[in-house]
Copies of this chain bind each other. A is one copy, B any other.
Amino acid sequence: MSENGIMSRAKVLTIDTMNPTVKKVEYAVRGPIVQRAVELERELSEGMKKPFAEVIKANIGDAHAMGQQPITFFRQVLALCSYPELLSDSTFPEDAKSRACRILQSCGGNSMGSYSASQGIDSVRQDVARYIERRDGGVACDPDNIYLTTGASDGIVTMLKLLVCGEGTTRTGVMIPIPQYPLYSAALAELGAVQINYFLNEEKCWSLDITELQRAVNEARQYCNPRALCIINPGNPTGQVQSRQCIEDVIRFAAKERLFLMADEVYQDNVYAEGCQFHSFKKVLFEMGPEYAETVELASFHSTSKCYMGECGFRGGYMEIINMDDEVKDQLTKLLSVRLCPPVPGQALMDLVVNPPQPGEPSYGSFIKERTATLSALAEKAKLTEQVLNTVQGISCNPVQGAMYSFPRITIPEKAVKEATEKGQQPDMFYCMKMLEETGICLVPGSGFGQKDGTYHFRMTILPPTDKLKILLNKVKEFHQRFTQQYS
């Protein structure tokens, strides 16, 4: 101990004296299994011997990391915006140059290095509004209702933040699907809001039942104040695509129960299954007539991270806000202004996503070709994944109608469940950890997303290139058979 006793003093900030709501946060997609995967990668690179040659991270929807190529046009425009001297380079197509000029003209000092307005660059918000109008068959969209965000994550957390109030039985409750994308549970834990689970129906292809919504909200009213309903469509981790009818029913339910609707539509272009189609909540809402269109409060979220572009690292996104109270909107703008602005390169990228090359423009052909190639490959891989997994006894996988993941149900033998429980681990975490150690494949256990008690799942992205995906699926198959045998 030192003279004045400083050395021996406890730290100011310890696990016991830190923010208790932060401690409650969980985020499985980047949890212990991923940390172990990173360790294994390091060990491999240091020459340690493992039963596999490489770690395959099928835990996260990170398309480029899995080898997907960026859209050439998007990257050309970003390069032009980053280094405008290139505008005089004749190898760049004219449409890329004109897009870059339009973006730069909307930036302070014509530089992406300026802060933008907190709500996002005006011209980008206008382009987003026009995109939404086209997508929704002409339903009007006001650029004032568009807020650019730092990925969809930022928009979702911000909206949840606005909604949280009350204490005890009047505390805000938010309905989320189970299984869910764990951003929702994490944000609710951090905000100290009440998480209200509604279960998707695995037997019916992970569809959403209104009776289940009703059960969930009725029960919740006994201990909190349900104020919002979150929908993920197409679903993560479950891959279902909601029917128009279902969306209408959900909107009616939200109106009846007075719930603020949050529609997470980041996978809006990722629809693969025959007969499935993406319907935006906004469009359906407006088609239901003024009784709904003028009253139901809706926030919908989009992102540059998914679809055919997969540009996660740029952290681009937007939200559209419908029927929000004007005073609350002012508060939202104020709140966003504290963080100054979303990253401008991400805003630029969002602009390109909503305003891609048009017929007649020089880059149109290559853009369509690249987009189609990526989306057809994803559709093929969705099918392949479902098919191979369903050949394995003890694995059953719903069709991957959309998004980027399969979420198969797995049978875990009693003996394995027991061993996991003794270790204090969830059985599917035990299963996934074992798979990682034996095969190098990194998946996320179903328990990270939530699942019906007594059922087990894992989530696996469909993103690896087809060849690799085949190998991966076969390894999963072999592992499952070995595991089942070992614990029978």
Q: Contacts A83-B79, A115-B312; is A291 near B20 (CB within 8 Å)? A: no
Please, how many angstroms separate the alpha-carbon atoms of A107 and B75 in the complex? Answer: 16
The answer to whether A351 has its CB under 8 Å from any CB of chain B is: no
Contacting pair B107 A295 (CB below 8 A): no
Contacting pair A13 B259 (CB below 8 A): no
Of the residues B27, B312, B338, contact of A27 by C-beta under 8 Å? B338
Of the residues B109, B186, B227, B315, contact of A343 by C-beta under 8 Å? B315
Q: Which of A13, A17, A65, A310 gathers most chain B CB within 10 Å?
A: A13
- Stretch binding the partner chain, chosen from A212-220, A326-334, A404-412: A326-334
Q: A228: nearest residue on chain B (CB-CB)?
A: B12
Per the CB 8 Å criterion, the residue count for chain A at the interface is 105
Cβ < 8 Å to B, chain A residues 320-361: 323-325, 327-328, 331, 334-335, 337-346
User: Chain B contacts of A334 at CB under 8 A?
Assistant: 25-27
User: Chain B contacts of A15 at CB under 8 A?
Assistant: 325, 327-328, 331
Contacting pair B30 A162 (CB below 8 A): no
Contacting pair B338 A14 (CB below 8 A): no
- Stretch binding the partner chain, chosen from A137-145, A149-157, A240-248: A149-157
Q: A323: nearest residue on chain B (CB-CB)?
A: B11
| Closest beta carbon of chain B to A190's beta carbon, Å | 8
User: Chain B contacts of A86 at CB under 8 A?
Assistant: 79, 86
User: Chain B contacts of A27 at CB under 8 A?
Assistant: 334, 337-338
Q: Contacts A19-B162, A339-B154, A343-B343; is A113 near B79 (CB within 8 Å)? A: no
Contacting pair A19 B340 (CB below 8 A): no
Residues in chain A within 8 A of chain B (CB atoms): 2-4, 6-7, 9, 11-15, 17-20, 22-23, 25-27, 29-30, 38, 60, 62-68, 70, 75-76, 78-80, 82-83, 86, 89, 107-109, 111-118, 150-151, 153-154, 157, 161-165, 182-183, 186-187, 190, 227-228, 255, 258-260, 290-292, 294-295, 297, 305, 309-315, 323-325, 327-328, 331, 334-335, 337-346
- Would you mind naming 28 contact pairs between A and B with Cβ atoms under 8 Å apart? A7-B290, A12-B228, A12-B258, A12-B297, A14-B327, A15-B325, A15-B327, A18-B162, A18-B163, A19-B164, A30-B337, A64-B107, A65-B111, A65-B114, A75-B83, A82-B345, A111-B313, A113-B311, A114-B313, A115-B305, A151-B340, A190-B335, A190-B338, A313-B341, A313-B343, A314-B344, A315-B340, A345-B345
Additional A-B contacts beyond A115-B305, A315-B343 (15; CB < 8 A): A6-B291, A12-B227, A12-B228, A13-B163, A13-B324, A19-B165, A112-B313, A112-B314, A113-B310, A113-B312, A115-B313, A150-B343, A153-B340, A312-B340, A313-B343
